Structure 1
Amino acid sequence: MTNQHASCSLSKGGIPRAAAECNKSNIEKSGLQSVQENLNLHCKFLPSSFPAWRGQFQILQTAASSEFYDGLEAQPPCIVNKKAYKFSTEMPPVLQLESLPVLNALTDIFQDNSPRLQDIALYFFPSELTERSRKNLDSILKFMNAEKSMLRSYINGVELLVFTSNQLDMDSKGAIAAVKTRHFLWGLFRQKKIDKAVERVPDLELVDMDIDMIGGKNMVGRADDVQNYKPKSDIPLGF
């Protein structure tokens, strides 16, 4: 006699197939929920939709040679520090940058921690959806990864430090991957001090780009409709 209860097929591991599919579905749902929660947590620090700067990088390799990479733009986060935004709009169209060991800079600024989206003052992306601008950014990323370097520029007595997205912590990488699938560059500003360790200077005046850049006297343009929220306690350290 055929046992009707023995008709449930098994997967390779001996687990009933229906149960295995159910577990897989639960895992997928849990993964999607985790991604969404991470995105909700970080969305106010994601890049806005309009650029504060467009231009090119001039990376100084030796005293006599440099490489130019055009077709780049810098986008502030949706929640932006006013002082950082002001400096970003004052950047020259050709940014002269020198290459320095990335580990030294990361240790100096972040000690034993990894940078987070909250630390970003600017995101650097290709300014045009062309093969040339994408290749230029990819070339910079390849150079920085191969040399294990970061880039530094001086603008009106302030340092702009530029890093690759590889340096961000895992949660930040996961959040940004939901809106930007390619690697990118990001930067922060810090005051230049002579013969001293330089600390990022906190500035408590933050701006919700969704609000401030739409109305008021200093209207620039519209940012992403990502998060109309101004944090009170989660203040980015950098300026």
Structure 2
Amino acid sequence: MRNSACLPPPPLLCGPSLSALCHLTVVVAGSGCGGASSVGRLLPHPSARARARSPPSLRFPPPSGTGRSKSLPGARGPSWPPSPRVPMEPPNLYPVKLYVYDLSKGLARRLSPIMLGKQLEGIWHTSIVVHKDEFFFGSGGISSCPPGGTLLGPPDSVVDVGSTEVTEEIFLEYLSSLGESLFRGEAYNLFEHNCNTFSNEVAQFLTGRKIPSYITDLPSEVLSTPFGQALRPLLDSIQIQPPGGSSVGRPNGQS
């Protein structure tokens, strides 16, 4: 007969969820089965050891619906397709020109080396042309005329000053204020406050740019010579008002 000590133990009753852990191998040894002392070890099932080494996998429930996110009631978001942007209309731009006249008609170029000891290209009178009219300053105040409409005739040269967004209405209001303050007729001075001073002031108002320096520097070049200094008392009494224009902000013919 077999020794009852060597009989296998009765099977353990385990549920389906614990079948892997409850599968045990019992090794029993005793004096009647080889002479060794009894030693028992519980060995887990191989699948249980594999599960213990690998991290548990996370499972998420499948998304419901079509997979698109649902907006909360009352929430506002960007529409698709986005509505096209309406391009902004560019502002109206008006060209600004500087008309340049040589009052000496070429004599300054020929005689200035002899009389002044330096070369002058001309004795410059300037005006601003904008909004289809020519504007200038003289002893009669601020005047206007069609471009090239004074008795000086067409300009000797035209300088492109730039363009402006200032409308004609705003510009005329600006000229009216100048005519009542800085550029009254009695404020005219051939060397220090003349037509070129006016053109430079208006050009900066319209475009932010100055007129060429060879024009604005002319009085200082003349007065820096002995001949210019000697003639200054006579030249100061000269007042230039090109005929053919009408006064701005005053009745015609009133100065």
* Structure with the higher helix share, 1 or 2: 1
TM-score of the aligned structures, taking structure 2 as reference length: 0.25
Larger Rg: 2
Report 1 or 2 for greater relative contact order, CA contacts < 8 Å, sequence distance ≥ 6: 1
Q: With the length of structure 1 as denominator, give the TM-score of the two structures.
A: 0.26
